[in-house]
Chain A
């Protein structure tokens, strides 16, 4: 088994109102110096060794992310 991480982020040009809300809250909480925040999703998958990179990429592109508005990165973090 391998641990695979998939990070999904809104594309830079796509409005991210959740990230903006977090960014706007930080100064109110007394945390200064944070320019901007983007909020995405982090998936951790336990993957059988037989699953190849192409399959992982397909899972990310066709299901975990919507490529119209999101970028994705697949990483194998341990095996």
Chain B
């Protein structure tokens, strides 16, 4: 009996296939979810993948958050469903209020596409338990609006509660406050990050297999439950 992890496809999503492949490679069963269906098909966790949902019109993630499937994700997340938002998925989770803060245009204005070193700072969340505290991992980053910002009191709360999951090391690529690359919800079930772990699951096709750790973590969490 393995865990079933849903991967949502919106109009403009790019990375749903890689996310599904990462789930399957980690030993889970990926389940395709459709933006217009208010139906999570009974999955045990959800990945909101990267891309440009609804063309990034208005603001990245601003329209996707109102998709029928997201209403279900928000309701289920509030009951503890593990949810991972990658890149555009992170932006959607912030717009939906599942994670605090917002992602704005990169400080240097340029779209950044490179392999990025990250430090893992939270190893207690549903998506990071497989990592060692302080581990440095290499994950592709590809985003134009990846600059994480939040009010000072939100930043203080994230830092004070150990909810910065991943921090950029070796230079801040986009101006994100406190070098934040990814954060967790207060209950550790929802994680969002700008870099793409689903593109780093095999040295043949990515810079490392470090990204597999997020998906293995979720499976550990679900199997233990």
Contact = CB atoms under 8 A, between A and B. Distances in A.
Interface string B84-115: 00000000000100001110111111000000
Nearest to B61: A66
Give the interface SS of chain A, mostly helix, strand, loop or mixed: mixed
Contacts, number: 34
Nearest to B110: A17
Interface in B135-172: 147, 149-151
Contacts of B108: 17
B62 A66 contact: yes
A21 B107 CA distance: 10
Given A17-B109, A18-B105, A21-B109, A66 B95 contact: yes
A68 B151 CA distance: 7
- The interface size bin for chain A is 10 to 19
B58 interface: yes
A14 B149 contact: yes
- What 8 A-B pairs are tightest by C-beta distance, nearest first? A68-B102, A17-B109, A69-B102, A17-B105, A66-B102, A17-B107, A21-B109, A66-B59
Contact of A63 (B62, B106, B149): B62
Contacts of B59: 66
B207 interface: no
21 contacts: A14-B104, A14-B149, A15-B107, A15-B147, A15-B149, A17-B106, A17-B108, A17-B109, A18-B105, A21-B109, A63-B58, A63-B66, A64-B58, A66-B59, A68-B100, A68-B101, A68-B102, A68-B149, A69-B102, A69-B104, A69-B149
Interface string A65-79: 010110000000000
B109 A15 contact: no
Contacts of B149: 14-15, 68-69
